[in-house]
């Protein structure tokens, strides 16, 4: 999966991760190097920490277990969120969007717009000239919204008129249940998805009537033959059907040089921001009117576009995420739950760590006093405890992440079917997890940082004890 | 008993002896507060949402035919698809049987569907206005001012025709050539000719007819709007859903076709966009206390506002433009002479001038234009492809008024479904009455089923376009006669009680006397269905709410899972802490054992201690939770976006704390503390006196 496809780790996680890395460097790597290279005996700090952890096996095991559990949980939840994200990416870029789209509106009158790109071959030339290296391939698709009627049922869906020969990605992603993809070359043919076929009670070879209201105020119909039935792609495939490009043109009485959108597929999806800007400059330079960037799907833009005074053609550039931004709330809600839950759990764990360290310090007060009395510096006392917490959390988070990762992979492979109510939120009919190295690392860093950071407080207090008091203290 | 008192004494003594107990106590306190607040919020939300759903669409229970292909889903499924339902057989009998059941207050027939409707077009408005003025002249109320107004409007129409011509030439870039277009151009050329207007002055009504029938349809200006409707017995609906109130207009008289549109939807889709946007900006600033300069979304809207002047400019004839220019020059202190530029100045708003500009707009601009593209009293042509046939069916219905549900005025979810009388619903559903069936069979002989359906739909559409805002009695009937095909048998505008009760019904809302009887009534209804062998299914409001109902179920699930996970981790941590606490007391325990305490005593001691700890901090947590809920219950949680209005059943949610929530919170915390102390207590019993006392000596 390319980088863009991953949920970008939120800024907080990145900052915490960076802080953790810094702390790690300052507290562990530097002292370690220092102790190894210049102060051999002080490497004992680590031995002391590990010895202490091993000595209190039960306590270490429980606390470490809790940390591991939370890390595993975070990895699983983030995996779920990314799974949804990837299903969304796959559905979106197959069904309704390229990585970047050059679409637009054509307005006959200021008040009536249609989602069209007129004289699209010329626009294609500009795109090709602008993106000699970035472009993987480009397709044109007719856009429409229509009612599909069979003998027994009817449903509404988005229409996409495709030139099947040019649709490389579509051919790779769409898995046919029945029928033949090549037949979409012929006039008056359609590809529908399994769920739609079930609702409409049609099979390959059956006829469907497509009826769509046109701008002219009349309703046009076209009869198409179902030539292929494909496996559903997430939940969004319920709202899309594919016909040959000619059918959409006939339906809306459009000429050959007009299409709905140019969908651009890039070699590297992470360049889509840059590509979009490049295209904007190039298309404006070529004399096209390009609308201001509006990160929304095209079908919600009619309302605004219809109220603007211009007529003729304006182009609109969007990225894949914009075209499916109407289901974004699912991801947002899921992420909100993840953060809230993680926050609460981290607080609980932090309390546990503080607690354990308090005990450890109390148990070893006399030892600390003695060590300080024979000349150990404060920072080394502090380091002993921080290193103890750090070692514990490092090992636990690693194990926890490994556990979470394994669970994700197993659950993903199991393809557990989900009830309908959950499908709506996951955008998919089975439980899908996607584990990214990056997100696993951020989980480890986040939990690791928080647990180590909280250890600083008791450690600092331990280091502040006066040797004489500490030695007098009874354990 | 004495032993328990002793144990209790020890527990209380130890409660504050260790810092550790404070830490554990803190976790328990927070946990209890969380369970109580979370649970109470959730229950309140569920409660308010049930009020919204029950009070605006569903009633307590819903019934529908068990022969249906889909399950009933009142808000449509995820993609806004209507559920495919079979009509209920012999609804009047079903209704009578249901109303016999105890606690059933009413049974309201329903049927959902979506129709397409055009939002009206500006040339229609202008022509309707012109027709009104001409009629005044014809009635002998002519005056020089009126004549000047008529002249001004005539030149306005001519200007529009010129614009349409431009548009049609532009359309050649994208569309294929057609005879229809050529005809259109001929029409326009005729309107642009001086000869036409000379004729117009001689016979204005004939001229008007030409303009309304031929010119108006060329302006492809109206948006196609999707109108979601519930066909119902309107009077029964009003009685059953008592939160419903009319905002404008009246209820359609019994026995007449009628449409009621929710105020929210009416404002959102039929009001001139500029005015609506201005209202929303004002509301954001006034009610939601936002600053235009700080909110990126509002910023975007502010930026768009001056661009949207077209709807206004199209409605201003030269005369009105002149007046507006003078007024705006004065109000804005501007020298600008162009009306559109002045309007743009007026609409360039910021935090300082918004209120003033809003007032000016409504004082100066609004009276000169039609603010709504569809007015109460107009007849609307609805096109629907819902229902059995799949082909377009259409009907003309008068808009009698707008309505809203109390507390849900701003909720899009409650404000999206219009109400329509049952007979019109039946027409749109495509239900074939015996006469219609015969008529269609005759037509099928002439041509072929599909061909007819298509012609039918187009004819209906052309009829609709002009009939929309034109004066119902005049233009409408002329056209129906002219275009003919659709209305071979003129549709009846009135109907009888038998028509209502005999109409096709897809589902029905069952209103109970009180929500408390919901589960009982659902069971007794189910019982009745099985006993009588009725082909019906019953659902409660939550199931019938489909996607929305699922939303609360999923949210509930997420909450429970989250609480479960939190407590699992908390148990581990508390367990750990308790274990360490116990280990610190090894000497004490050893001593106790040495002086003769049994293992059972030690076990009880530790358990009672934790229980006391849990009870004490749990109680504090409950107090905290109750405090938070009290505060929230008084101040309320504001609905930060429009969608939330529905879930909150009003602009604010005032959550209430139930006894059940407190009990749940305390139970959970006691269970958690009991579980987390088992292992440490077990360890404590294994302490042998000798070892313990020796260990402490080291």
Task: Render pLDDT for B589-640 as a digit per residue (tens, 0 to 9).
Answer: 888 888 888 888 888 888 888 888 888 899 999 999 999 999 988 888 887 7
Nearest to A161 by CA among A265, A264, A251, A88: A251
User: What gap in Å lies between CA B631 and CA B634, rounded to an integer?
Assistant: 5
State how far the Cα of B117 lies from the Cα of B381, in Å rounded to an integer: 6
Task: With beta carbons less than 8 A apart as the criterion, state whether A74 and A338 touch.
Answer: yes
pLDDT given for residue A12 in this prediction: 62
Give the closest of A344, A352, A424 to B78, CB-based. A424
Question: Hey, what are A45's tokens?
Answer: 């700090």
**Radius of gyration (C-alpha) of chain B in whole angstroms:** 35
Task: Identify the bridge partners of residue A226 per DSSP, sorted by sequence position.
Answer: A190
Q: Does B304 touch chain A (CB under 8 A)?
A: yes
- Which of A149, A304, A352 lies closest to B304 in CB terms? A304
Q: At what angle do helices A44-55 and A378-414 cross, to 10 degrees?
A: 60
Alpha carbon separation from A48 to A29, A367, A391, A455, B390 (Å, rounded): 17, 12, 11, 16, 79
Q: What whole-number distance in Å separates Cα of residue B574 and Cα of residue B576?
A: 5
CA distance B669 to B27: 10
Do the bridges between strand B244-249 and strand B393-405 make them parallel or antiparallel, or are there none, so unpaired?
antiparallel
A348, A428, A450, A451, best to mutate vs chain B, most B CBs in 10 Å = A348
Contact A217 B118 (CB under 8 A): yes
**CA trace torsion A445, A447, A452, A457 (10° rounding):** 140
Q: Write the residue in B122, B174, B554 that is nearest to A118 by C-beta.
A: B174
Question: Do the Cβ atoms of A111 and B122 come within 8 Å?
Answer: yes
- CA B243, B245, B247, B248 torsion: positive or negative? positive
Strands A219-230, A176-179: pairing kind = antiparallel
Chain A CB within 8 Å of residue B575 CB: yes
Alpha-carbon torsion, ordered B541, B542, B544, B549, to 10 deg:
150
List, as ranges, residues 497-526 from B with C-beta within 8 Å of A: none
B176 touches chain A (CB under 8 A): yes
What integer is the mean pLDDT of A188-216? 85
* pTM score, whole prediction: 0.72
Residue B183: Cβ within 10 Å count: 12
Please list the alpha-helical segments (H only) found in B173-227.
Answer: 179-192, 194-202, 204-210
Q: Is there a contact between A106 and B221 if contact means CB atoms under 8 Å apart? A: no
Contact A218 B461 (CB under 8 A): yes
- Give B140 to chain A, closest Cα distance, Å: 37
Query: ipTM for the complex?
Result: 0.75
Contact A112 B78 (CB under 8 A): no
Q: What is the DSSP letter of B139?
A: I
pLDDT value at residue A27: 65
- For residues A253-259, give the mean pLDDT: 87
Cβ neighbors of A205 (< 8 A, separation 6 or more) are A225, A226, A227
Rounded CA-CA distance B161/B165 in Å is 6
CB pairs under 8 A between A and B: 194
> Which of B125, B347, B381, B576 is the best residue to mutate to test the A interface, defined by the most A CB atoms within 10 Å of its own CB?
B576
Give the mutation candidate from A104, A352, A360 for the B interface (greatest B CB count, under 10 A): A352
- Does residue A103 contact residue A318 with C-beta atoms inside 8 Å? yes
- Identify which of A258, A358, A359 has the shortest CB distance to residue B174: A258
Point out the residue among B34, B167, B274 whose CB comes nearest to the CB of A108: B167
Q: Where does B293-353 have alpha helices with state H? A: 296-304, 310-313, 318-332, 339-347
The three-class DSSP label of residue B140 is helix
Say what angle helices A328-363 and B19-53 make with each other, to 10 degrees.
170
The tens digit of pLDDT for each residue in B563-581 reads 888 888 888 888 888 888 7
**Chain A within 8 Å of B677 (Cβ-Cβ)?**
no
Pairwise CB contact (< 8 Å): A59 & B558: no
CB–CB of B573 and A351 under 8 A? Answer: yes
Kindly report the backbone phi and psi dihedral angles of residue A261, in degrees, each rounded to the nearest multiple of 5, phi listed first: -160, 150
Residue B465 to residue A308, Cβ atoms within 8 A = no
- Exposed / middle / buried, residue B29 (Cβ in 10 Å: 0-12, 13-18, 19+): buried
C-alpha to C-alpha distance for A223 and A189, rounded to whole angstroms: 8
| Chain A residues within 8 A of B640 when measuring between CB atoms | none
- What does the block give as tokens for B629? 């809920």
Q: Which of A208, A211, A302, A307 to mutate to test the interface with B (most CBs of B within 10 A)?
A: A307
Token pair 């303009």 in the structure block, residue: B211
Report how far residue B466's alpha carbon sits from residue B118's, in angstroms, rounded to the nearest whole number: 10
The pLDDT of residue A316 is 93
Mean pLDDT lowest among A253-267, A442-456, B423-437, B524-538: B423-437
Q: Which residue has the higher pLDDT, A271 or A30?
A: A271
Choose among B78, B80, B572: nearest Cβ to A65: B572
For residue A158, give the chain B residue with the closest CA. B79
- Kindly identify which residue of chain A lies nearest to residue B268, measuring between CA atoms: A303
pLDDT under 50 in chain B at which residues?
388-389, 448-490, 697-698
Residue closest to B128 by CA, chosen among B398, B466, B464, B395: B466
Residues 211-250 of B with CB under 8 A from A: 217, 219-224
Predicted local confidence at residue B489, as pLDDT: 43
Q: Looking at residue A244, what is its pLDDT?
A: 92
Residue A290 in this model has a pLDDT that exceeds 60: yes
- Determine contact, residues B577/B20, Cβ cutoff 8 Å: yes
**Comparing C-alpha atoms, which of B300, B364, B302, B306 is closest to residue B340?**
B306
pLDDT at B471: 37
Nearest to B49 by CA among B684, B678, B679, B639: B639
């Amino acid at each position: 999966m390319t980088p863009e496809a991953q949920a970008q780790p939120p800024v907080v996680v990145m900052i915490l991760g960076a802080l953790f890395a810094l702390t790690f460097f300052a507290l562990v790597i530097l002292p370690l190097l220092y102790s190894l290279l210049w102060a051999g005996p002080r490497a004992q700090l680590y031995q002391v920490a590990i010895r202490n952890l091993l000595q209190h096996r039960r306590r270490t095991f429980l606390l470490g277990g809790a940390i591991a559990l939370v890390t595993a949980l975070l990895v699983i939840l983030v995996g779920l969120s990314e799974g949804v994200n990837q299903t969304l990416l796959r559905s979106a870029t197959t069904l309704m969007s390229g990585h970047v789209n050059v679409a637009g509106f054509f307005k006959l009158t200021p008040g009536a717009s249609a989602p069209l790109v007129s004289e699209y071959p010329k626009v294609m030339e500009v795109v090709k000239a602008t993106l000699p290296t970035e472009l993987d391939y480009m397709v044109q698709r007719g856009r429409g919204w229509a009612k599909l009627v069979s003998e027994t049922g009817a449903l509404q869906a988005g229409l996409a008129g495709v030139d099947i020969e040019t649709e490389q990605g579509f051919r790779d992603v769409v898995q046919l249940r029945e029928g033949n993809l090549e037949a979409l070359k012929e006039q008056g043919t359609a590809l529908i998805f399994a769920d739609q076929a079930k609702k409409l009670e049609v099979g390959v070879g059956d006829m469907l009537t497509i009826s769509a209201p046109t701008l002219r105020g009349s309703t046009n119909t076209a009869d198409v033959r179902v030539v292929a039935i494909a496996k559903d792609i997430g939940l969004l495939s319920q709202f899309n059907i594919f016909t040959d490009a000619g059918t959409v043109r006939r339906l809306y009485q459009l000429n050959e040089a007009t299409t709905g959108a140019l969908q651009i597929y890039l070699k590297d999806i992470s360049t889509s921001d840059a590509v979009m800007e490049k295209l904007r400059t190039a298309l404006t330079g070529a004399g096209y009117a390009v609308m201001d960037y509006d990160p929304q799907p095209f079908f919600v833009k009619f309302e605004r576009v219809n109220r603007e005074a211009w007529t003729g053609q304006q182009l609109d550039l969007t990225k894949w995420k914009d075209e499916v931004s109407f289901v974004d709330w699912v991801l947002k809600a899921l992420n909100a739950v993840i953060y809230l839950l993680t926050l609460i759990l981290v607080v609980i764990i932090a309390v546990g760590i503080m607690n354990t360290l308090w005990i450890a310090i109390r148990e070893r007060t006399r030892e600390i006093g003695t060590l300080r009395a024979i000349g150990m510096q404060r920072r080394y006392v502090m380091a002993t405890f921080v290193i103890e917490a750090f070692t514990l959390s490092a090992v636990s988070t690693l194990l926890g992440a490994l556990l979470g990762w394994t669970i994700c992979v197993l659950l993903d492979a199991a393809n557990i079917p989900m009830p309908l109510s959950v499908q709506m939120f996951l955008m998919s009919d089975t439980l899908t997890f996607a584990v990214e190295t990056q997100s696993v690392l951020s989980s480890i860093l986040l939990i690791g940082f928080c647990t180590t950071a909280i250890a600083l407080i008791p450690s600092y207090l331990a280091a502040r004890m006066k040797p004489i008091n500490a030695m007098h203290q009874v354990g | 008993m004495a032993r328990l008192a002793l144990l209790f004494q020890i527990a209380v003594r130890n409660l504050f002896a260790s810092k550790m107990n404070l830490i554990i106590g803190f976790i328990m306190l927070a946990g209890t507060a969380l369970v109580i607040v979370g649970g109470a919020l959730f229950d309140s939300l569920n409660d308010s949402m049930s009020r919204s759903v029950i009070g605006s669409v569903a009633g307590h229970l819903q019934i529908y035919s068990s022969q249906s292909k889909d399950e009933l889903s009142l808000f449509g499924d995820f993609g806004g698809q209507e559920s495919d339902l079979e009509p209920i057989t012999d609804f009047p009998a079903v209704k009578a049987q249901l109303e016999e059941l105890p606690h059933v207050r009413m049974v309201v027939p329903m049927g959902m569907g979506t129709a397409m409707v055009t939002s009206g077009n500006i040339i229609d408005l202008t022509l309707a206005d012109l027709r009104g003025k001409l009629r005044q002249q014809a009635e002998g109320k002519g005056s020089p001012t009126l004549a000047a107004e008529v002249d001004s409007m005539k030149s306005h129409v001519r200007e529009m025709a010129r614009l349409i011509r431009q548009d049609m030439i532009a359309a050649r870039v994208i569309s294929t050539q057609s005879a229809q277009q050529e005809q259109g151009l001929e029409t326009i050329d005729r309107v642009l000719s001086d000869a036409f207007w000379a004729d117009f002055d001689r016979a204005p009504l004939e001229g008007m007819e030409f303009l309304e029938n031929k010119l108006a349809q060329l302006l492809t200006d109206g948006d196609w709007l999707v109108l979601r409707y519930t066909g119902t017995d309107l009077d029964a609906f009003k009685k059953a859903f008592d939160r419903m109130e009319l905002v404008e207009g009246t209820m359609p008289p019994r026995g007449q076709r009628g449409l009621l549109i929710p105020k929210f939807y009416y404002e959102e889709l039929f009001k001139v966009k500029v005015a609506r946007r201005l209202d929303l900006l004002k509301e954001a600033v006034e009610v939601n206390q936002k600053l235009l300069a700080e909110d990126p979304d509002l910023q975007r809207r502010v930026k768009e506002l001056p661009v949207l002047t077209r709807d206004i400019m199209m409605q201003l004839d030269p005369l009105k433009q002149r007046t507006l220019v003078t007024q705006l020059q004065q109000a804005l202190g501007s020298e600008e002479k162009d009306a559109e530029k002045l309007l743009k100045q007026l609409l360039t708003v910021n935090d300082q001038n918004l209120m003033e500009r809003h007032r000016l707009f409504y004082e100066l601009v609004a009276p000169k234009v039609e603010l709504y593209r569809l007015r109460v009293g107009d007849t609307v042509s609805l096109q629907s492809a819902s229902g059995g046939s799949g082909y377009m069916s259409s009907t003309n219905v008068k808009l009698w008024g707008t309505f809203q549900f109390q507390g849900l005025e701003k909720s899009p979810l409650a404000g999206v479904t219009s109400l329509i009388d049952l007979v019109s619903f039946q027409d749109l559903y495509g239900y074939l009455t015996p006469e219609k069936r015969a008529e269609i069979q005759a037509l099928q002989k002439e041509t072929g089923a599909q061909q007819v359906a298509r012609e039918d739909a187009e004819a209906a559409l052309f009829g609709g376009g002009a009939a929309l805002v034109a004066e119902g009695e005049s233009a409408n009937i002329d056209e129906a006669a002219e275009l003919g095909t659709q209305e071979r048998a003129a549709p009846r505008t009135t109907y009888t009680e038998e028509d209502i009760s005999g109409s096709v019904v897809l589902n029905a809302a069952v209103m109970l006397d009180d929500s408390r009887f919901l589960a009982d009534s659902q069971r007794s209804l189910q019982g009745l269905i099985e006993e009588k062998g009725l082909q019906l299914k019953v659902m409660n409001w939550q199931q019938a709410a489909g996607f929305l109902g699922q939303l609360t179920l999923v949210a509930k699930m997420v909450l429970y899972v989250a609480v479960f996970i939190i407590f699992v981790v908390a148990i581990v941590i508390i367990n750990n802490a308790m274990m360490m606490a116990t280990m610190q007391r090894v000497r004490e325990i050893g001593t106790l054992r040495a002086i003769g305490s049994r293992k059972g005593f030690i076990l009880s001691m530790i358990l009672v201690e934790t229980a006391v700890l849990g009870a004490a901090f749990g109680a504090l947590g409950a107090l905290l939770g109750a405090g938070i809920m009290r505060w929230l219950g008084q101040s309320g949680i504001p609905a930060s976006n429009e969608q939330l209005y529905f879930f909150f059943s009003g602009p604010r949610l005032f959550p209430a704390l139930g006894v059940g929530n407190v009990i749940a919170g305390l139970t959970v915390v006691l269970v958690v503390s009991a579980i987390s102390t088992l292992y440490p207590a077990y360890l404590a019993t294994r302490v042998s006196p000798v070892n313990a006392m020796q260990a402490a000596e080291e």
